[in-house]
Amino acid sequence: MGTAWGRSALGWLTASVLVVGAACGGATQAPAASKAPAATPAPVAAATQAPTPAPPKYPTAPVNFVVGWAAGSASDIGTRALAESSQKYLGQPIVVQNVPGAGSAIGATQVAKSKPDGYNVLFTAFGIITLPHLEQVTFKPLEDFIPVIQVGGYAEVLVVRPESPFKTAKDLVEFGKKNPGKVKWATSGVGSAPDLAGLLLAKVGGFEATAIPFTSGAEGVAAALGGNVDAAFSTTGATIQLIKEGKLRALGITMAEREPAAATIPTFKEQGYDVQLLGWWSLAVAKGTPASVVQTIHDAVKKGLADDPYKSVMAKALQPIIYLGTADTTAKWKAEYETFGALLKAAKK
């Protein structure tokens, strides 16, 4: 569109020069024998030609939020709440599209391969930067996407049954040191935030544990309740009610400070184990999406973060709304891709 406008402007400028030259020609015109033909009216017509219309302002149609998990999942619920809170600021409906499978890789691939026009936006989690370190995927998170905005975070809690001999994180760590590999804890999959929380605790604590992957945090918690594993890492929101009811005991949370809404849960850090990990939710678009479109999405969603239903959904799940802009979200993806990639690589040895 810029090229078309450039040609139009050039035509106008050329025509103007010709008109001015014709108007001043009486003072400098050549002898009659070599007099140039009179100017035709065509350039004058070009001078008054209407410029090419500017492109319509984005968005002019509904925008898709693509989520890589099934309907009814925690990610899906969060995506739908964010869509509802943000669409009034975007000026178009936001349609949530569930594309589950392969640990959310199918949905990520769909957006990565989509036209970079801002009409397909990926709602993604922490795993997008760890998955490529674990298996072959058809996208490169740092090359195929523009991270637009971070919209939330979530801590991991290590829980055990009330009758467990582990009363504190130290009890579990000391047992693990004396019995390498004997501690079995549930996670929601290799490379997930719960899995990485476990790897960090084992590394800082200096012991070996056995991670048992489940397809969701809820399944892992159920396994802990049933005595099928010694412990489970899961989110605060997924465990807090069971903790309050005395059905689970929390040994530690992966935050720098205690979560106000779960103040009875000690941090690992205050117990002498510097295990800090916050998973996150972000929005991303395909590489090549115009900067103006990225900014429009960012601005609309940032306003939506403070509105219901998103605000209330996150509060109910005890998941803090941790905002980061485009530049900071991009930097975080890069830093954690490298940090946790190295951690996963070391765990494979």
Q: pLDDT, tens digit, for every residue of 30-40?
A: 333 444 444 44
**Encoding tokens for residue 301?**
């969603």
Residue 49 pLDDT class (50, 70, 90 cuts)? low
Averaged pLDDT, 103-117 = 95
Distance CA 82, CA 90 (A): 12
User: 278-286 and 145-160: which strand pairing?
Assistant: antiparallel
Residues 143 and 221 in one domain: no
- Establish if 210 belongs to a structural domain: yes
Distance CA 14, CA 24 (A): 16
- Establish if 335 belongs to a structural domain: yes
Residue 327 belongs to domain with CATH number: 3.40.190.150
Residues 166 and 258 in one domain: yes
- Establish if 265 belongs to a structural domain: yes
The mean-pLDDT minimum among 1-15, 223-237, 266-280 falls in: 1-15
Between 130 and 191, the higher pLDDT residue: 130
338-348 burial, b for 16+ CB within 10 Å, e for fewer? Answer: eebbebbeebe
Range of the domain at 162: 155-271
- Establish if 22 belongs to a structural domain: no
pLDDT at 53: 58
The mean-pLDDT minimum among 9-18, 23-32, 326-335 falls in: 9-18
**3-state SS assignment for residue 337:** helix
Residues 171 and 121 in one domain: no
Between 46 and 330, the higher pLDDT residue: 330
- Establish if 56 belongs to a structural domain: no
Residues 214 and 247 in one domain: yes
Please answer whether residues 316 and 237 qualify as being in contact, where contact means their C-beta atoms are separated by less than 8 angstroms.
yes
Q: Which of 229, 247, 271 is the last residue of a domain?
A: 271
Residue 323: is its pLDDT beyond 60?
A: yes
- Establish if 33 belongs to a structural domain: no
Distance CA 59, CA 45 (A): 35
- Establish if 296 belongs to a structural domain: yes
Q: Give the chain's mean pLDDT.
A: 86
Residue 163: is its pLDDT beyond 60?
A: yes
pLDDT at 115: 97
Please answer whether residues 100 and 68 qualify as being in contact, where contact means their C-beta atoms are separated by less than 8 angstroms.
yes
Q: Which of 228, 254, 271 is the last residue of a domain?
A: 271
Residues 338 and 263 in one domain: no
Q: Which residues contact 344 (CB under 8 A, 6 or more apart)?
A: 130, 133, 134, 191, 196, 199
The amino acid that residue 209 corresponds to is A
Residue 93: is its pLDDT beyond 80?
A: yes
Q: Which of 239, 254, 271 is the last residue of a domain?
A: 271
Distance CA 221, CA 176 (A): 20
Residues 201 and 99 in one domain: no
**3-state SS assignment for residue 250:** strand
Distance CA 118, CA 22 (A): 49
DSSP state of 189: S
Residues present in the chain in total: 349
Residue 264 belongs to domain with CATH number: 3.40.190.10
The partner residues of 210 in beta bridges, in order of sequence, read: 184
Number of domains in the chain: 2
Please answer whether residues 149 and 282 qualify as being in contact, where contact means their C-beta atoms are separated by less than 8 angstroms.
yes
Residues 167 and 187 in one domain: yes
**3-state SS assignment for residue 312:** helix
pLDDT at 58: 97
- Tokens 């994180």 found at: 169
Measured between alpha carbons, how far is residue 266 from residues 20, 239, 296, 340 in Å? 82, 14, 40, 24
pLDDT at 14: 35
Between 108 and 36, the higher pLDDT residue: 108
Q: Strand runs (DSSP E) across the chain, as ranges? A: 63-67, 94-98, 120-125, 145-160, 183-187, 209-213, 231-235, 249-253, 278-286
Residues 246 and 159 in one domain: yes
- Establish if 36 belongs to a structural domain: no
